[in-house]
């Protein structure tokens, strides 16, 4: 009997222990779930805070960029903005007046678009001038500027006619109001003032372009045509340095090259007269003992043998006339027969002969 009771107590104790362990497991799972939920909430809160901070910084960056963009635009257009405000005021006063004037002139609503002729025309040309000068500064804009002033004159005249019945002062005021905006735009925006250095650089650039164009035209006039077997042709130019002489090109000889050529000719003539070629190992003779058959006292003193005078290399006037005629007939030689300097540089002769050949070419009958 006692053993059965003990077994029953043991069974009850085991069941209680199992229930206690099950309750502990349930509680532990619940605690873990609550901890995980709390951790998730903390992570979600942190992520939401980071996202909110990022969104706040992005909004601040966008606002700063927008403010900087507006500031840059205002800085870049600090001249345009007041001019365009002036233009809006001018148009706000002139357009309704001209619309009413058009209705009165035509007697119906057909005359209402009259401001399109008196106001819109000059502004269309004014904007064309501004866009062309900013996008294509190399293009001329005189035709567009002419359109601006023609349509501005039309608008001024129409507004003067509109205000004439009210008196001369009203006519002048209405005419000035009509064209004040476009005049300010052309002076300050379409044609902004430039510095002295910019104006000087622009003048030099224009002169350079004009001279290059003249040189190219002269080169085309003096170029030689080369025909191919199939009948096609191309122009052949003679490279070198030239200067403009009227509508022709005159050859320019570099001074350094001319001096070097003359020096080379003199050196070659000297060695030709001496009948020997220059040697690379030639150098100064140093003092050294020389073995001779004579005693030192009986040795004759060495004396320098006088060099025979070199015959001058000259050309007669007849030779120069022949060379001058051959140079004129040769299309590959760029010589200007009307310029003594060009003749002197080409033939390499004295200035007096160059002037004589020039005068003989100008007056062949003398």
DSSP string, 154-223: HHHHHHHHHHHTT-HHHHHHHHHHHHHHHHHHIIIIIS----HHHHHHHHHHHHHHHHHHHHHHHHHHHP
* Structural domain contains residue 283: no
Q: Are 231 and 110 in a shared domain?
A: no
Q: Are 30 and 70 in a shared domain?
A: yes
Q: Are 68 and 136 in a shared domain?
A: no
Q: Are 168 and 154 in a shared domain?
A: yes
Contact of 234 with 226, CB cutoff 8 Å = yes
The structure tokens listed for 296 are: 């030192």
* Structural domain contains residue 41: yes
Number of domains, the chain: 4
Q: Are 232 and 130 in a shared domain?
A: no
Measured CA to CA, the distance from residue 79 to residue 184 in angstroms comes to 11
* Structural domain contains residue 291: no
Model pLDDT, residue 150? 92
Model pLDDT, residue 220? 87
Measured CA to CA, the distance from residue 158 to residue 142 in angstroms comes to 24
- β-strand partners of 233: 227
Query: What DSSP element (H or E) covers 233?
Result: strand 233-236
Radius of gyration of the chain (CA): 51
Provide the phi-psi class of 310: left if phi over 0, else alpha when psi is between -120 and 50, else beta. Answer: beta
The structure tokens listed for 270 are: 């000297």
Nearest CA among 170, 129, 184, 175 for reference residue 155:
175
* Structural domain contains residue 285: no
Model pLDDT, residue 306? 54
Residue-wise over 123-135: b if at least 16 C-beta within 10 A, else e? bebbebbbebbee
Q: Are 361 and 248 in a shared domain?
A: yes
Fill in the DSSP letter of residue 118. Answer: I
Model pLDDT, residue 311? 43
Domain boundary among 205, 236, 267: 236
Q: Are 66 and 151 in a shared domain?
A: no
Nearest CA among 270, 334, 338 for reference residue 308:
270
Q: How far is CA 239 from CA 120, 215, 219, 345, in A?
A: 55, 13, 10, 17
Q: Are 363 and 248 in a shared domain?
A: yes
Contact of 181 with 91, CB cutoff 8 Å = yes
Domain boundary among 76, 106, 123: 76
Q: Are 266 and 320 in a shared domain?
A: yes
* Structural domain contains residue 252: yes
The pTM of the full predicted model, rounded to 2 decimals, is 0.47
Taking the chain (366 residues) in runs of 10, the rounded mean pLDDT of each run is 74 83 85 87 90 91 90 81 87 88 86 86 89 84 90 91 88 90 86 78 87 88 85 86 82 57 64 55 50 54 53 73 87 82 86 86 74
Domain boundary among 76, 101, 119: 76
* Structural domain contains residue 300: no
Contact of 152 with 182, CB cutoff 8 Å = yes
Model pLDDT, residue 58? 92
Q: Are 110 and 177 in a shared domain?
A: yes
Nearest CA among 114, 117, 109, 84 for reference residue 97:
114
For residue 334, the SS3 value is coil
Measured CA to CA, the distance from residue 281 to residue 344 in angstroms comes to 38
* Structural domain contains residue 210: yes
Residue with tokens 């003199």: 266
Model pLDDT, residue 249? 82
Q: Are 136 and 150 in a shared domain?
A: yes
Q: Which domain holds residue 256?
A: 241-275+313-366
Q: Are 68 and 155 in a shared domain?
A: no
* Structural domain contains residue 298: no
Model pLDDT, residue 61? 92
Contact of 248 with 222, CB cutoff 8 Å = yes
């Amino acid at each position: 009997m006692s053993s059965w009771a003990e077994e029953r107590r043991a069974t009850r104790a085991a069941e209680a222990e199992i229930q206690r362990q099950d309750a502990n497991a349930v509680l532990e799972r619940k605690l873990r779930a609550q901890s995980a939920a709390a951790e998730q909430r903390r992570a979600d809160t942190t992520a939401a805070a980071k996202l909110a901070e990022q969104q706040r910084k992005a909004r601040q960056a966008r606002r700063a960029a927008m403010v900087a963009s507006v500031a840059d635009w205002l800085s870049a257009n600090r001249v345009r903005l007041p001019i365009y405000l002036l233009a809006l005021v001018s148009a706000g006063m002139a357009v309704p007046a001209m619309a009413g004037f058009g209705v009165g002139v035509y007697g119906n609503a057909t005359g209402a678009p009259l401001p399109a002729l008196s106001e819109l025309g000059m502004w269309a040309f004014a904007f064309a001038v501004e866009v062309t000068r900013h996008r294509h500064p190399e293009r001329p804009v005189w035709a567009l500027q002419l359109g601006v002033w023609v349509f501005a004159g039309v608008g001024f005249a129409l507004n003067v006619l509109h205000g004439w019945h009210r008196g001369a002062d009203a006519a002048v005021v209405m005419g000035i109001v009509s064209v004040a905006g476009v005049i300010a735009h052309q002076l300050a925006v379409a044609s902004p003032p430039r510095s002295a250095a910019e104006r000087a650089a622009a003048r030099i650039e224009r002169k350079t372009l004009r001279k290059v164009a003249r040189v190219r035209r002269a080169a085309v006039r003096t170029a030689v045509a080369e025909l191919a077997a199939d009948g096609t042709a191309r122009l052949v130019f003679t490279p070198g340095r030239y200067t403009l002489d009227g509508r022709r090109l005159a050859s320019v000889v570099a001074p350094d090259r001319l001096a070097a050529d003359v020096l080379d000719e003199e050196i070659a003539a000297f060695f030709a007269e001496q009948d020997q070629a220059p040697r690379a190992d030639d150098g100064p003779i140093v003092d050294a003992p020389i073995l001779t058959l004579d005693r030192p006292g009986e040795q004759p003193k060495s004396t320098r043998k006088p060099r025979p005078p070199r015959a001058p290399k000259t050309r007669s006037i007849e030779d120069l006339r022949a060379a001058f005629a051959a140079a004129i007939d040769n299309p590959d030689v760029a010589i200007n027969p009307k310029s003594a300097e060009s003749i002197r540089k080409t033939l390499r002769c004295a200035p007096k002969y160059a002037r004589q050949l020039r005068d003989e070419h100008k007056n062949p009958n003398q």
